[in-house]
Structure 1
């Protein structure tokens, strides 16, 4: 159902540092990351969080500075892999929507995606979003690991809100935010793995701008710490909630594992959209240049 004007939505975001050496096998790392997340998942459930989201590829290091096929072993099927199944149990236990960003192994052998599974508050699997835009620059050799997704901008009708997902590098592309909003998204989560440097200034620029442009809430999640042996920089945390006016209302620390919880006033979505009327005043018939060719 959609939020009505009297409802708030209690959101939760979890940011976390890596809990296991990258020398270990991916399954050992997955188990360590799950174990570290469980107390925060339980805390979110006990505190009444309605929509919870983790960071990008939350069960593993951000392995894309390497081009090591070892990490293909960390990919799981969705929804029949162990992580999605486990999170379905927690979703049902706490009546909490959970967005589960993991490395996905497709049914086609040797095809992998950067994906988020979406689980409803009754534990049912609603579907998945596959990261659309895949970078290939120094330190971020993602095309080695991920096939670009073509999910057609799904919006998930959860028990609490109309939910969209956009993953990390996607956030630099305004077209996807707009497509999700036009498909009905009121709240969009952006699980990420981004390090200090060029992106840090953009971190608090792009999502607030996109929230304002589309009149929606956004939850932005980043991991924390340094990951060896690559150490491409500091994952600087600072996960946050930004409202439909583009104002950051709640922010996490820079360097700690943390669950942040925030009550979002969902009546702001209609209020802001009615005020600005960006969707009314769009001129899609004049935008052909945006979709001509590749």
Structure 2
């Protein structure tokens, strides 16, 4: 499994999240890519939210970010901030990097911390990991943004009262119609 451990401020282990969506994507001119279906099993622990000393935290890993269903479940489970650690290279989905995750934050009324590595990894040289880590607020506005080409820590302030304010303004949870979504998992493209 591709797994993230959640550690609280005092160092205690709160639990883990296992990545649900496993990519099978070729990139680069040498045929390298993210052939993760060969070495990762899909997650089987649901979408847990962890009550940390600072906030209720959810995790979504890398390729998961392309699927709004799990992002919604994290919000419904009480997440106030969702972290998405990623290892994504320039090209195929870079334009989605600053589109999808702010949309998840808006649709679910939470902060989202999008983390992406920088640089190149040999010997594969499948492309440049483009960094650009960021934190967005529940309105999808960028609170803090990292650079494209250097390792760094970005720091942004989170206002938990703002989460409630946004959720009370945009009643996306109240106005849901789950009874109309029953067959969603049965539909095929």
State the TM-score, normalized to the length of structure 2.
0.94
Matching residue of 2:167: 273
> Match for residue 254 of structure 1?
148
Q: How far apart in 2 are the matches of 1:234 and 1:122?
A: 35
Q: CA–CA distance in 2 between the matches of 1:233 and 1:290?
A: 35
Q: Structure 2 unaligned runs (5+)? A: 27-32
Q: Where does 1:20-99 land on structure 2 (aligned, <5 Å)?
A: none
2:4 counterpart of 1:116: yes
- Asked if residue 191 in structure 1 is aligned to residue 85 in structure 2, the reply is yes
Deviation at 1:144, TM superposition (A): 1.3
Say whether 1:181 aligns with 2:75: yes
Report the equivalent of 1:6.
none
User: What corresponds to 2:132 in structure 1?
Assistant: 238
5+ unaligned residues in a row in structure 1: which ranges? 1-112
* Distance of 2:35 and 2:23 partners within structure 1: 7
Using the TM superposition, give the Cα deviation of residue 149 of structure 1 relative to its aligned residue in structure 2, in angstroms: 0.6
Q: How many residues align?
A: 182
Distance in structure 2 (CA, Å) of the matches to 1:293 and 1:252: 39
Shift in Å at residue 293 of structure 1?
6.5
Rg comparison, structure with higher value: 1
Counterpart Cα distance in 2 of 1:135 and 1:192: 12
Q: Which has the higher contact order (CA 8 A, sep 6+)?
A: 1
For residues 85-144 of structure 1, what are the alpha-carbon distances to aligned partners after superposition, in whole Å with 9 as ceiling and x for unaligned?
xxxxxxxxxxxxxxxxxxxxxxxxxxxx10000111221111000000001121110011
**Paired residue for 1:137, among 5, 8, 25?**
25
SS of residue matched to 2:93: helix
Partner of 1:228: 122
The SS at the match of 1:264 is coil
In 1, Cα distance between equivalents of 2:101 and 2:123: 30
Deviations 1:190-244 (Å, cap 9, x if unpaired)?
Answer: 0000011121100000000110000000000000001111111110000000000
Task: Report the CA distance between 1:289 and its aligned residue.
Answer: 2.5
Pair 1:147-2:41 in alignment:
yes
- Contact 2:20-2:43 within 8 A present in 1 as well: yes
Match of 1:60 in 2: none
SS across alignment from 2:135: strand
> Whole-Å Cα distance in 2 between the matches of residues 137 and 274 of structure 1?
40
Runs of 4+ off more than 3 Å = none
Counterpart CA distance in 2 for 1:243 and 1:164 is 15
